[in-house]
Amino acid sequence: MSGRGVPGRRERFTTTYGAPLERVYGDDEGYREAAASAGMPGEPPYTRGVQPTMYRGRLWTMRQYAGFGTAEDTNARFRSLLAHGQTGLSTAFDLPTQMGYDPDDPRVAAEVGRVGVSIATLDDMRTLLRDIPLAEVTTSMTINATAPILLALYVAVAEEQGVECARLGGTTQNDILKEYIARGTYIYPPRPSMRLATDLIAYCAAEMPRWNAISISGYHIREAGADAVQELAFTFADAIAYVDAARERGLDVARFAPQLSFFFAANSLLVEEVAKFRAARRVWACIVRDRYGVRDPAAQMLRFHTQTMGSTLTAQQPLNNVVRTAIEALAAVLGGTQSLHTNGYDEALSIPSEESARLALRTQQIIAEESGVADTVDPLGGAYAVEALTADVERRVHEEIAKLDAQGGALAGIETAYQTRAIEESAYRRQRAVERGEQIVVGVNAFRAEGDEAAPRILTVDEGAARRQAERVRAFRARRDATAASGARTVLVAGATGDANLVPLILACVRAGVTLGEISDDLRGVFGAYEPGRS
């Protein structure tokens, strides 16, 4: 140990995916080939960005993720963020909502409102969206197993505002495959879950042209411990599975591909991350063009949301997280993201406070307005290291996708736990590097000081919120038209037993006052509940 409390400079310099980092990159044949193939912004393969002017024409959407406690609590946070300059909504739901349980279910009482907002009824969604003009604001919903139910509730409230569903803009994450790989908030087995996800894609293609029916997520894969190549490869393998499923339903790839969006993590390894985002656009353009034969440039365009990483934040010296988040946000912007969430510095300790959420938003605004990086498209394009890493990531992602193809694709990989094992091995390697001091985490394994454990004032959820939510859902059931609700549930079960698109039937259920937990229970009765190790 040196006097600074940090080991000497490490001897091995590698990327997150284990490739050696050169001491210096230069104008060699590989660099010239990579730079020449980059093209121009707004042109396939979109290496340099999906729009010719990028942020000179329009800044990325500043979409801060928010949700806790009751619908009233989260509605207040939404309106506060919008008042401070946020340009889009992003909704975090609690675990009972994600897993298909109503808040009065005794099995979930301890989790109601804890890691997101509790939404079980049409009344809850009305309260969540009170005084928010749905025709003007786009909304992202991080919801997967219950995505059709939450979108149905959203559509029903919009109709009450006089906004037709065709005018609504936003995204449902609806990416169930990554739940089996990295996150765990699944309900049904993979194949009926794929049916629900595809039903939503088909419904939005027909009825909601401004809505992204799915946001295929590498973010959670990366947070679980994947490296940069695994993040992209496993995400695109999932995307291929969704596209194939939609094609089997008779959908035209050229028509629905523009409604596919993606969600990636931003790590603090800035140069590698910029290269990763540039490579991602190249890989997706290639998949759409070569695998599916779609020549329409709009269908080849990769549009993605980015979130800075929660797993890089530390409970020790939490103010250091402000710097980590700023670097990660800068990587996302330099990489050409379409929307961005920046984490609160206190997220290793609690749900972000209003103060930390506002500072996270200000981080984006300072990058946009004061750094100058938004004034030039792809400002790191042509840099020797960036171009070399872009080409390297692209090549390795294609190789990893080919390995999954050989096994039968993403679904087959899930059933054999291929992706999960690979992520676990990557996470283990990183953790061992931190423990051995080969990977420095400031304030954790180096540069510690007295008083590091002092925590900022953190947000706590009202202990009475769960009880009030349970009372509300019981009161909602008591005053609804029981006959209409029962009839809608009977039709839903019949449709699930057959091959009907379930989204219109779920929409009919929420209009009739059926709750999220009831709809989920009815589908559990048809599809069963997933148990790991069984397909």
pLDDT of 340 above 90: yes
CB count within 10 Å of CB 151 equals 29
Domains of the chain: 29-435 (3.20.20.240)
Selection from 172, 131, 138 nearest residue 153 by Cα: 172
417's CB contacts (< 8 A; 6+ apart) are none
Q: Which two tokens stand for residue 119?
A: 């939404």
Mean per-residue pLDDT for 22-35?
85
94 φ/ψ angles, rounded to the nearest 5 degrees: -75, 170
Cis omega before residue 45 (within 30°)? yes
Chain center to CA of 274: 18
In this prediction, residue 329 carries a pLDDT of: 98
Residue 314 has a pLDDT of: 95
Say if residue 72 is exposed, middle or buried (CB neighbours under 10 Å; 0-12, 13-18, 19+). Answer: middle
CB neighbourhood size of 377 (10 A): 19
Binned at pLDDT 50, 70 and 90, residue 64 comes out as confident
The tens digit of pLDDT for each residue in 207-239 reads 999 999 999 999 999 999 999 999 999 999 999
- The percentage of the chain sitting over the pLDDT mark of 90, rounded to a whole number, equals 84
Q: Is the dihedral of CA 516, 341, 183, 147 positive or negative?
A: positive
Which phi and psi (to 5°) does residue 260 adopt? -90, 135
> Residue 10 has what pLDDT?
64
Please say if the pLDDT value at position 277 is more than 60: yes
Mean pLDDT of 279-306: 97
Mean of pLDDT values over 145-165:
97
φ and ψ of 134, to 5 deg: -70, -20
Is residue 221 within 8 Å of residue 410, measured between CB atoms? no
Q: What pLDDT, in 10s, does the model give residues 412-434? A: 999 899 999 999 999 999 999 99
pLDDT of residue 86: 86
Q: What is the DSSP letter of 170?
A: E
Residues 6+ apart with CB under 8 A from 509: 152, 485, 488, 489, 492, 518, 519
- Look at residues 165, 162, 254, 156 and name the one whose alpha carbon lies nearest to residue 211: 165
Give residue 11's pLDDT: 67
pLDDT digits (tens, 9 = 90+) for 474-494: 999 999 999 999 999 999 999
Instruction: Please answer whether residues 389 and 165 qualify as being in contact, where contact means their C-beta atoms are separated by less than 8 angstroms.
Output: no
Span 365-412, pLDDT tens digits: 999 999 999 999 999 999 999 999 999 999 999 999 999 999 999 999
